């Protein structure tokens, strides 16, 4: 397990948030990783993901959105969330100026990262990684949340479970196809939105986590140069 360094950085000059920076011995790139709507950067999934990515030679900077830093339940306005993404990318570049950058996150964190990238290219970021892109609310299928992806100019990796009730794959596949070579869809059989699998599936959450990490690591090599 790689030790994490505690950092803080300002968001739009109005607030300060915490971050955890994990750098393995020989990192290949650095992933700027945002949390989902209901849990912060220290959630077990985020912790496990960061540890396994570090073991696969991927440095990770996890960070809090302002509402989570302040222990508020309701997420910040989109403008504040995207400002936090931009600030986190800047902080990552300062922490490891020698490493190629990737950015993304779990669920809402990934979507806010893509919205930030759609507004203005994220400086130094070579690709976006979505751990369960929340295409639509549960039982309300739609692709409206994906409209902004057409304005993203870097490669995107979608990691999606077949039981994800926030992303109907019959809707997500055409979205990715429309994005062309910039989009890569990696389907995780049997996983839900939290990447949990049923016991009868014949696999385990830890195996799913390894699948996610190896997919990110190999995809990252393709966008590294």
> Which pLDDT tens digit goes with each residue over 141-197?
999 999 999 999 999 999 999 999 999 999 999 999 999 999 999 999 999 999 999
Contacts of 185 (CB under 8 A, 6+ apart): 158, 160, 172, 173, 176
pLDDT of 223 strictly over 90: no
CA dihedral 187, 88, 155, 40 (to 10 degrees): 10
pLDDT of 14 strictly over 90: no
Domains with residue ranges and CATH for the chain: 4-223 (3.40.50.1820)
> Of 39, 160, 210, whose CA–CA distance to 108 is shortest?
39
Residue 93: half-sphere exposure toward Cβ, Cα within 13 Å: 13
Residue 198 CA, chain-centre distance (Å), reads: 23
pLDDT tens digits, one per residue of 57-100: 999 999 999 999 999 999 999 999 999 999 999 999 999 999 99
CA distances from 80 to 5, 45, 74, 83, 116 (A): 25, 24, 12, 5, 10
Residue 168 tokens read as 């109907």
Strand partners, 33: 62, 104
Task: Give the residue ranges of DSSP H helices in 120-180.
Answer: 169-179
Compute the distance between CA of residue 219 and CA of residue 208 in angstroms, rounded to an integer: 16
Residue written as tokens 């794959």?
169
pLDDT of residue 207: 96
Contacts of 17 (CB under 8 A, 6+ apart): 8, 9, 11, 63, 64, 65, 66, 69, 84, 87
């Amino acid at each position: 397990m790689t030790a994490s360094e505690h950092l803080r950085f300002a968001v739009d000059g109005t607030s300060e948030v915490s971050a955890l920076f994990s750098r393995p011995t020989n990192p290949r790139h650095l992933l700027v990783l945002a949390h989902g709507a209901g849990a912060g950067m220290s959630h077990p999934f985020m912790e496990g993901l960061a540890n396994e990515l570090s073991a696969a030679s991927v440095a990770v900077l996890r960070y809090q959105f302002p509402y989570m830093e302040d222990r508020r339940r309701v997420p910040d306005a989109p403008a504040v969330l995207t400002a936090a993404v931009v600030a986190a990318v800047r902080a990552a570049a300062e922490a490891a100026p020698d490493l190629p950058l990737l950015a993304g996150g779990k669920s809402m964190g990934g979507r806010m990262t893509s919205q930030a990238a759609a507004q203005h290219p994220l400086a130094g970021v070579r690709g976006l990684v979505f751990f369960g892109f929340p295409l639509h609310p549960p039982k309300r299928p739609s692709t409206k949340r994906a409209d902004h992806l057409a304005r993203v100019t870097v490669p995107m990796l979608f990691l999606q479970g077949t039981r994800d009730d926030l992303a109907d794959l019959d809707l997500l596949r055409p979205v990715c196809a429309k994005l062309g070579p910039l989009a890569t869809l990696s389907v995780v059989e049997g996983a839900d939105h939290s990447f949990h699998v049923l016991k009868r599936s014949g696999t385990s959450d830890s195996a799913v986590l390894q699948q996610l990490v190896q997919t990110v690591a190999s995809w990252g090599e393709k966008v590294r140069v």
